[in-house]
Structure 1
Amino acid sequence: MTIHELPTRSPVAGLRRRGLSMVEVLAQSVSALAPSAAVVVVPSIVMARSGAATLPVLVAGTALVVLVGWCLTHFARRMAAVGGVYSYTAKGLGPGGALLAGWALVVGYAGIAVSALVGAVAYLASFLRLDAAGWGLGLLAVAVGALAALTTVRGIQLSARVALTLEVASVAVVVAVLVVLLLAHDGGTGTGAVVVDGPVTPGGVATGVVLAVAAFMGFESAATLGVEARRPLVAVPRAVLWTPVAAGVLFVVAGFAQVVLLRAAPVEILTSDVPVARLADAEGLGALSRLLDAGIAASFFACVTGSVNALARVLFSMSREGVLPAPLGRTHRRFATPAVALAVVLPVVVAVPAVALAAGVRVREVLTASLTFSALGYVLAYALAAAAMPLFLRRIGELTRPALVGGAAAATLSAAVLVVALAGTSWSGSGAVVVVFALAWLPGPVLWLVLRRRAPATLARVGVYDQATAGDLLPGQGVRR
């Protein structure tokens, strides 16, 4: 290929290309996953669904996510994309599968951002010892959202560095608190045992696995930085695989600790908005308890920025393909961030929890609903991406037996968990959340059907990724002799 045959402009031009180090790419996955927040929030919610099967459910959820992460590395080693899982799926399942997975991912990122914002408000209020309710919590949500907007618009490097620093510190605090609580544990049993040792049902187990997967949501978001990473084909697959592996070990160990502690605690603590913080307060940990509140609030804030960063980049990618309106593909002149997409999604992410909290809805109710809503989107996207992986490798002539078996297993297990969870959902439980998810996800299939009929050429562009341009080559390169 001669230099004249290369494009003069990348399809994703406008973002700051090749600027992020391996640590900053890893920080994106860590911040979106928010391990310290996940390990103190998700286990108690899983207990309410899975009862005595909580620990096996946490292990199963971890194993499923690691398997999905392994599947995604096969894409990440071969292409640098802004759309992440959305763009990956396009290479295996085509535009239709990509839009189904991509919009599920949009729903997932939006849901987890809402959940993280609510969590940040709850732990920040606990740290400040604010007896706030209603409008007080709503205004606090707006303040946290405004800070997240400033951080994300200024650039991924700033938000990634801040997030990783906060996360390392908060993980250390969480581990210290759980160790102290276990050492003080007297082996007794409290009213929390009614929930922790509760009945096990197939629907409850499947829903628990979906919620366990929620603890890892966002681990794949490093894939949206394929254009901005210095060595994308190395940094992204490492971040996508090793983030859930490391977080999974922490998640299962912390889950075991909470099963022991919450079994011996009053049921009111288990079902509270901040169960681990309540346990720390009950043991009189004082300053360590305050540090826990601050660390978890910081972790949730990092999750807000990480999720919104990934969400904006998926919408940016769809815009550059012509699937969504062109303004969403514009970047900030100074900071080279998808500023228009951020300006569209941030008000929604902030308004939903702010209005709900201001209306008097309990923090735990908003948190559980948004986590479930988000998890449904993620599991659907993961199932489609895993199914796309062997097809992609077959198309490029690199399919191996382990990849075929791994992709089929990840797709089948993800789909099975999703179906059983939906079948076991009751209207009095999460049925309303499922309906809201279905309505929120509907634009994906509708976009596919409309474009298939009216703009097939646009549909054919789905799955754009970064490409070398003439300006990337040094003089004398790219010339066939």
Structure 2
Amino acid sequence: MSHTQLRSNCLSFVELLAQGIALISPTMTAALIIPVMYGNTGEWSWLSYVLGTVMLLFVALNLNQFAKRSTSSGSMYSYICRGLGLTSGGIGGWSLIWAYLGISMAGITGFSIFAGKLLDMVGLSVPSVVLFAICGGVAFYLAYRNVQLSAMLMLVLEGVSMLLILVLSVIVLAEHHFVVDTAQFTVSKLPWSNVGLGVVVAIFSLVGFECATAFGDEAQNPLRNIPRAVIWSLIISGAFFVFVTYAMIIGTRGYHEPLDQIDAPLNVMAQMAHVGLLQIPLSVGAMVSFFALCLSCINAGSRVIFAMGRHGIFHGAIAGTHHKNATPHVAVAIMAVIAFAVPTVLVLCHQAALDIFNWAGTMAAFGFLVPYVLITLSAPFYLLRLGELRGRDWFLCACSLLLLLIPAVGSVYPIPPAPIKYFPYAYLAYLAAGALWVGSFHKRKPHVSISIREDLERMHAQFQLGEQ
């Protein structure tokens, strides 16, 4: 007997929030991305995170027009289908799969980097491929076994890691007697020409905040908890980035290398603040945080694949769920295998794990931007069909689209060095292939398109009735 139902009503608001924060991975930004930000905007790096958070809040408000009215597994895909049609929805889902795969690869490579640092401390050396297999294998098992267990584990792992970084940041500020660092507020030092680049980095640090929408079939009280999880994962992560960036600039000032050239800024902060004992737990925290990132992406990406498989866009076997665990085990396996295989091939081709991490994160960012644009465009058309469109909804849509132009343009101009300058073309080729596949699918099987629309309307009516 074929099973196609996920475990319903099993994820609380806190567990949905954990999925979103784990995918954003604040620890990843603190451990590796803030130095990149500093290279662009220097002392004013905290401002870029403020601007990036505000920009994505506009996207989140458009997204929540759907999330508070209806929900299902792989919701971003379903939302775009409701607003702009099945072909646009399929393209958005196709792009999300690219995004979640890229971030899961970043999680695996980030795990190997910090696991390697810890092993070096005790004189051991383990090949990166083995560390990839450990991270990917355990993440697969947990995602296959129980989504609730996965969520709780991610909550603990990322929560402990963030707490350690916050403690270190407070220690750093205490070392400086909590005096306001006026250098970070001196207008003459604001690099106006690079603020756009800084916002690009900030937005790419925050992508994934929409993760909770992928768990519509499994959430408790989804029309209330999913919108809250979307907003709060963004606010909590954005506030964390602003505070830690401010503290890190203070904590590394005076070091023999500038912040943008430091490859382990948290360890340097600990040294400079005379709490070197924190270096090991900080590295452990970073390692498990990258594992949580990989796990969160496998969970979220598999729900998008599952939803598209249920609609026939992918092979029907992908729409199956485990008879006992009620997880999309085939989709989970696909995500885990690809997330392990790609960085493994690159390492065997003599590429460094840190380079693979940077490439995977950059490539994934393109995959998020297209669904963000599509969901923003979808919102007013969806509300128009419901007869609930207001002037301020058009305003939210317009503001969001204008703000999304900043990371879209900043990703390709000024032209980055090779191989990064080729990444947009690789993504566009992938997107074009997906558009051709999805478009031809709906033309070849118009009867399936009708059943998909009926399925989407049935789910919408079901949740509307449940709220009344």
Shorter-chain TM-score range: 0.7 to 0.9
Which residue does the alignment assign to 1:56? 47
| Cα distance, 1:459 vs structure 2 | 4.0
AA matched with 2:81: A
Say if 1:175 and 1:103 are closer, same or farther in 2 by CA, change over 3 A. same
AA matched with 1:162: L
What are the within-5 Å matches in structure 2 for residues 30-49 of structure 1?
30-49=21-40
**Preserved contact between residue 127 and residue 290 of structure 1 (Cα < 8 Å):** yes
| 1:264 equivalent among 254, 258, 267 | 254
Inter-partner Cα distance in structure 2 for 1:157 and 1:364: 31
Say if 1:360 and 1:28 are closer, same or farther in 2 by CA, change over 3 A. same
Inter-partner Cα distance in structure 2 for 1:336 and 1:241: 28
| Cα distance, 1:94 vs structure 2 | 1.1
AA matched with 2:60: G
> Which sits farther off after the overlay, 126-135 or 93-102?
126-135
Q: Does 1:94 align with 2:85?
A: yes
Q: 1:425 is paired with a residue of what secondary structure?
A: coil
| Cα distance, 1:363 vs structure 2 | 3.4
Unaligned runs of 5+ in 2: 179-183
Inter-partner Cα distance in structure 2 for 1:289 and 1:172: 14
Which residue does the alignment assign to 1:21? 12
Inter-partner Cα distance in structure 2 for 1:466 and 1:16: 21
TM-score normalised to the size of structure 1? 0.85
| Cα distance, 1:35 vs structure 2 | 2.2
| Cα distance, 1:338 vs structure 2 | 0.5
| Cα distance, 1:465 vs structure 2 | 4.7
Inter-partner Cα distance in structure 1 for 2:285 and 2:191: 33
Say if 1:227 and 1:258 are closer, same or farther in 2 by CA, change over 3 A. same
Higher share in helix: 2
CA deviation string 1:446-473 (max 9, x = no partner): 223322432233345557559579x99x
Which residue does the alignment assign to 1:446? 436
Say if 1:250 and 1:121 are closer, same or farther in 2 by CA, change over 3 A. same
| Cα distance, 1:20 vs structure 2 | 2.1
Which residue does the alignment assign to 1:190? none
Q: Does 1:334 align with 2:327?
A: no
CA deviation string 1:205-232 (max 9, x = no partner): 4443233122222221111111111211
**Preserved contact between residue 142 and residue 350 of structure 1 (Cα < 8 Å):** yes
Say if 1:172 and 1:135 are closer, same or farther in 2 by CA, change over 3 A. closer
Which residue does the alignment assign to 2:426? 436
Which residue does the alignment assign to 2:205? 215
| 1:343 equivalent among 333, 342, 345 | 333
AA matched with 1:438: L
**Preserved contact between residue 170 and residue 299 of structure 1 (Cα < 8 Å):** yes
**Preserved contact between residue 98 and residue 462 of structure 1 (Cα < 8 Å):** no
| Cα distance, 1:141 vs structure 2 | 1.4
**Preserved contact between residue 81 and residue 226 of structure 1 (Cα < 8 Å):** yes
Q: 1:428 is paired with a residue of what secondary structure?
A: coil
| Cα distance, 1:295 vs structure 2 | 1.2
| Cα distance, 1:142 vs structure 2 | 1.2
What are the within-5 Å matches in structure 2 for residues 286-435 of structure 1?
286-428=276-418, 430-435=420-425
| Cα distance, 1:186 vs structure 2 | 11
Inter-partner Cα distance in structure 1 for 2:357 and 2:191: 23
Give the root-mean-square deviation of aligned CA atoms. Answer: 3.1
> Which sits farther off after the overlay, 439-448 or 332-341?
439-448
Inter-partner Cα distance in structure 2 for 1:316 and 1:31: 21
TM-score normalised to the size of structure 2? 0.88
AA matched with 2:55: L
**Preserved contact between residue 199 and residue 406 of structure 2 (Cα < 8 Å):** no
Say if 1:451 and 1:128 are closer, same or farther in 2 by CA, change over 3 A. same
**Preserved contact between residue 113 and residue 354 of structure 2 (Cα < 8 Å):** no
**Preserved contact between residue 177 and residue 289 of structure 1 (Cα < 8 Å):** no
> Which sits farther off after the overlay, 304-313 or 407-416?
407-416
What are the within-5 Å matches in structure 2 for residues 454-469 of structure 1?
454-461=444-451, 464-465=455-456, 467=458
Q: 2:70 is paired with a residue of what secondary structure?
A: coil
Inter-partner Cα distance in structure 1 for 2:296 and 2:70: 21
CA deviation string 1:398-454 (max 9, x = no partner): 112222211221123213430343232334362132233223333321223322432
Inter-partner Cα distance in structure 1 for 2:145 and 2:353: 30
| Cα distance, 1:174 vs structure 2 | 0.5
Say if 1:13 and 1:260 are closer, same or farther in 2 by CA, change over 3 A. same
AA matched with 1:169: V
| Cα distance, 1:132 vs structure 2 | 8.9
CA deviation string 1:367-417 (max 9, x = no partner): 221111111111221111111111111111111222221122112321343
Inter-partner Cα distance in structure 2 for 1:159 and 1:461: 33
Which residue does the alignment assign to 2:181? none
| Cα distance, 1:131 vs structure 2 | 8.5
Q: Does 1:124 align with 2:115?
A: yes
Q: Does 1:160 align with 2:146?
A: no
Unaligned runs of 5+ in 1: 1-11, 188-192
Inter-partner Cα distance in structure 2 for 1:82 and 1:31: 19
Say if 1:140 and 1:284 are closer, same or farther in 2 by CA, change over 3 A. farther
AA matched with 1:363: A
**Preserved contact between residue 80 and residue 92 of structure 2 (Cα < 8 Å):** yes
Identical-residue share of aligned pairs (%): 27
Q: 2:412 is paired with a residue of what secondary structure?
A: helix
AA matched with 1:346: A
Matched residue pairs, number?
454
Q: 2:411 is paired with a residue of what secondary structure?
A: helix
> Which sits farther off after the overlay, 117-126 or 414-423?
414-423
Say if 1:167 and 1:129 are closer, same or farther in 2 by CA, change over 3 A. same
> Which sits farther off after the overlay, 449-458 or 173-182?
449-458
Inter-partner Cα distance in structure 1 for 2:363 and 2:440: 25
Say if 1:184 and 1:352 are closer, same or farther in 2 by CA, change over 3 A. farther
Q: Does 1:280 align with 2:259?
A: no
| Cα distance, 1:184 vs structure 2 | 4.2
Inter-partner Cα distance in structure 2 for 1:305 and 1:364: 19
